[in-house]
Each structure stands twice: as structure tokens, then as C-alpha cells.
Homo-oligomer: A and B are copies of this chain.
């Protein structure tokens, strides 16, 4: 099935506003074994939108559009589709009632301009909006385009997601064909090319399945889809010995989820000391809801003074070993663990650039873990610019910790 996504809003073309809606929709489709063949972002300009809608009607079987369902003058997604398809817009009484109730719950009356949101093209079904005022649209076989489905969703992520989960996904499930289940394996500490090679034999053994390898800066994902969950279990069993300790997570989570899950399962806690990653490692963990159950916190020891003041590293020790060194990193991990009373202490020092720091070239990173059974450490050289080195070092630190916990 040819599926395309249209994200509507001038702000998507000109600013730091990332189009996260289409990424979310792409993931949800992938779980159904479906996928976009194309995604377009376009501004709130009538002609540009009309041009794109006409193109999409001519080439796609399912059109998912987000945005442009609001009450203002630059919201006209429904109106334009109706115009192009020669369908009238009529008021949908339940949608109007929903809107009045939505405002009433807030002790308000809907502004007159809002009522246009309750208009639905003849032949289409409204999708109710339980968390906002703009209903969506499910339009099957629109005039002149038999076999085509148009789905119009609000641009507000919370409204879009809720509508998708409750009303769109159930309607799409019967169309999803056979590959309805996805096995997702997250692999850390291995470059994409070597993972490709290492997993080839197992992938070829299950070559009739749909395989994808997705590499990002900090991890590689291996996805395989099938209708047969037992078969996916077999694939996982075959893949486990091949991936060994490099298999960081299975399912929806990433590296940081894996670490938090490990800690929670063992009733253990973590404290960190980061210099060169400057807070990024902590931020990655605390982005996960519920992180506070295992993550106690840490010290961002960006200066020698901070290493002494927060974690008690003596100035003489730092003078002897330097701020970027394996010995200092081990001492920081041990100090974080002790000071915060955590099961595990994790520390990172290094030089993210742009210039060399002492005799540590850009990309130098030291990682250390202090745990119930002692300390382990490693030194690495990580390629990339400042931001890459910081991101990769934070991921490498999480992965290093994950492996130590696994072994303990």
C-alpha cells in the first residue's frame, strides 16, 4: 500500500520546529508492518497545498495529513480537499456538540469562528477529538478516487496521537497485511558495517522476512517483521548468541531504558560524575519517566574546582594525574558512588574539542565504573565534532555501565 504523509504548517519549513508528528506516525505504521513511501512538509499556502493534495491523490492509496484543522484563516486542510474533490462540507452535529461541551467544561462558549471545525465533507466520517476542539476526518473512496483513503489529523501532537490510537489504527489494522509484528533489537558498541556482516548468516536463514538495519550516532537497530510471533521468537533465539553482550535492548526501549531497567530489576541505584559530557549523560537518563527510581543524580565536574568541591578529589591528585586521565576518571566514579551512596558510580572525562587539552587530543574519552565488586575503566578515541563526541561519549558510558551490570 502506497502511504504518504503530509505535514502542514509554515513553521515546519523555516524554524527549529521539528516535525515529530510524522516520525511518530512512521513508527506506528512500522509496527503495523506498513510504512510511508514519502513524507512532505508544506506551508499554509493555498496554492502549495492544493498542488500537493492533487499530486498525492494521484499517487497514493493512503494519505495521512496533519495540521490545518484549526479555526483560523490559515487552517483550510478540510476545505481544500473538499474543494478539489467537489464535495460539500456539512456540519456534523456530534462534533459541534463535542466542541460546545469542551468549552462548557472550561466555563466558556466557543467563539463563532470555531464552528467551522465541525464541518465535515459529505461522504467522510468525522474522527472525534476527546482532548481538543478540531475533529479529524476519515474519508474512504472519495469522489473520483476509489480505493484511496484520506485521513486528516490535528497538528497538536497530543490530539493527533490520541485520535490515531483510538480511531485510526483500529481502522487500518485490517489493511496491514501479514507482517503485523515487529521484533526490534537495539545493539550498542558495534558499528553498522560490522553488525551487517556479523548478522548476515542469521538474516539469510530467515531471508523471507522483512529486515531493516537502522544506524544512528549512538546505537544500531535491527528490525524484523512477521505475522508469526513464534517465528520472531526463533529469530531472536538465533540472533542472541550472535549478538551476545552487544544486544542492549529488545522492544521499544533504547540504551538508557536498558540501564534503568537493569538497575530497577536489581533494586540498585546509580550516581554519575561527568566532565566532558557536561550533563548530557544525566539528561539522557532523566528524559525517561520514572528515572528517579534508580538514578540518584550526579556531579557535572566541568572544572577542577568542581571535582574537588563536589566529589572531594584532592588538588594534589588532580595535579599528578591531570583532569583527563584514567586514574582521575576511576577516582571520580568511586567518589560519585561513595558520596551519593549508590550501588554504581559512572564517570566520564575527556576532551570534546575544539582544541587539544593538555596532551589529550580531541576525541579522547575515559570511562570508569565503580561497583560493588570493584572498578573497571577504559580509554577510547571517539571521532566527530564537539557535539558528536559528547553524544557518543555519553552513549559509550551508558553502554560501558550496562555491560558491567550485566556481568555482575
The residues of A with any CB-CB pair to B shorter than 8 Å are: 10-20, 22-23, 26-27, 29-30, 35-43, 45, 48, 51-52, 55, 59, 157-158, 212, 214-217, 221, 223, 271-272, 274-275, 277-287, 289, 291-292, 295-303, 305-306, 309-310, 339-341, 353-354, 384-388, 390
Contact B18 A214 (CB under 8 A): no
Residue numbers in B under 8 Å from A296 (CB-CB): 302-303, 305-306
**CB of A402 to closest CB in B, whole Å:** 18
Contact A278 B302 (CB under 8 A): no
- A-B contacts, 22 of them at CB < 8 A, read A14-B223, A17-B217, A18-B19, A19-B19, A37-B43, A37-B45, A38-B43, A39-B42, A158-B388, A275-B297, A279-B281, A280-B286, A287-B386, A289-B353, A292-B303, A296-B302, A296-B305, A296-B306, A297-B301, A297-B306, A306-B340, A310-B339
In the docked arrangement, what's the CA distance between A384 and B156, Å? Answer: 11
Contact A278 B287 (CB under 8 A): yes
**CB of A190 to closest CB in B, whole Å:** 16
In the docked arrangement, what's the CA distance between A216 and B217, Å? Answer: 24
In the docked arrangement, what's the CA distance between A318 and B162, Å? Answer: 37
Residue numbers in B under 8 Å from A217 (CB-CB): 16-17
Contact A16 B12 (CB under 8 A): no
> Which of B17, B30, B36, B274 lies in contact with A216, CB distance below 8 A?
B17
Contact B16 A36 (CB under 8 A): no
Contact B310 A297 (CB under 8 A): yes
In the docked arrangement, what's the CA distance between A29 and B15, Å? Answer: 10
Residue numbers in B under 8 Å from A281 (CB-CB): 279
Residue numbers in B under 8 Å from A295 (CB-CB): 302-303
Chain A interface helix/strand/loop/mixed: mixed
Contact A300 B287 (CB under 8 A): no
Residue numbers in B under 8 Å from A215 (CB-CB): 11, 15
Tell me how many chains of this kind the complex includes.
2
Residue numbers in B under 8 Å from A42 (CB-CB): 37-39
In the docked arrangement, what's the CA distance between A370 and B35, Å? Answer: 51
> Which of B20, B27, B283, B385 lies in contact with A14, CB distance below 8 A?
B27
Residue numbers in B under 8 Å from A43 (CB-CB): 37-38
Write the chain B residue with the least CB distance to A7: B39
Write the chain B residue with the least CB distance to A353: B289
In the docked arrangement, what's the CA distance between A19 and B22, Å? Answer: 11
Contact A278 B286 (CB under 8 A): yes
Write the chain B residue with the least CB distance to A42: B38
**CB of A56 to closest CB in B, whole Å:** 11
Which of the listed residues A23, A221, A286, A388 has the most CB atoms from chain B within 10 Å of its own CB? Answer: A286
**CB of A263 to closest CB in B, whole Å:** 13
Contact B292 A340 (CB under 8 A): no
Write the chain B residue with the least CB distance to A22: B41
**CB of A394 to closest CB in B, whole Å:** 9
In the docked arrangement, what's the CA distance between A100 and B293, Å? Answer: 52
Contact A299 B299 (CB under 8 A): yes
Contact B310 A299 (CB under 8 A): yes
Contact B299 A282 (CB under 8 A): no
Residue numbers in B under 8 Å from A339 (CB-CB): 309-310
Write the chain B residue with the least CB distance to A220: B15
Write the chain B residue with the least CB distance to A11: B214
Contact A292 B302 (CB under 8 A): yes
In the docked arrangement, what's the CA distance between A22 and B17, Å? Answer: 11
Residue numbers in B under 8 Å from A17 (CB-CB): 23, 214, 216-217
